[in-house]
Amino acid sequence: MEKININGISIAVKIEGDGKKGDILLIHCLGLSHKVFDNQIKFLAQKGFRVIAPDVRCHGESDKVDSPVSIWDLAEDILKLLDKIGIKKLFLLGGISMGGMISMRMILKRPDIAQNLVLMGTSADQDPYKERYIPMVEDMLNTLNNEKDPEKIKQTFRNSAEFVVRLCFSHQYLEKDNNFEIWVNESLKGQSLGAIYVSKAVITRDSILDQIEKIKVPTLVMVGSNDIAVPPRESEKIAQRIKNSKLVILDGAPHIFPPEIPDRTNAEISSFVSI
Instruction: Count the neighbouring beta carbons within 10 Å of the beta carbon of residue 76.
Output: 18
48 lies in which domain range?
A: 2-129+200-273
Q: Which of 97, 82, 116, 85 is nearest to 28 (CA)?
A: 97
Residue 85's contacts (CB-CB under 8 Å, 6 or more residues apart) are 4, 15, 52
The answer to whether residue 194 scores a pLDDT higher than 90 is yes
In a domain? residue 143: no
Per-residue pLDDT tens digits for 53-81: 999 999 999 999 999 999 999 999 999 99
In a domain? residue 166: no
Per-residue pLDDT tens digits for 203-238: 999 999 999 999 999 999 999 999 999 999 999 999
In a domain? residue 246: yes
The count of domains in the chain is: 1
In a domain? residue 9: yes
Tell me what pLDDT residue 128 has: 86
In a domain? residue 211: yes
Per-residue pLDDT tens digits for 107-144: 999 999 999 999 999 999 999 888 888 998 999 899 88
The average pLDDT across 31-53 equals 98
For residue 115, the 8-state DSSP code is E
In a domain? residue 169: no
Question: Any bridge partners for residue 93, and if so which?
Answer: 25, 117
The enclosing domain of 90 has a CATH number of: 3.40.50.1820
| pTM of model > 0.95 | yes
- Can you say whether residue 7 is alpha, beta or left, with left for phi > 0 and alpha for psi between -120 and 50 degrees? left
In a domain? residue 172: no
Beta carbons of 6 and 80 less than 8 angstroms apart:
yes
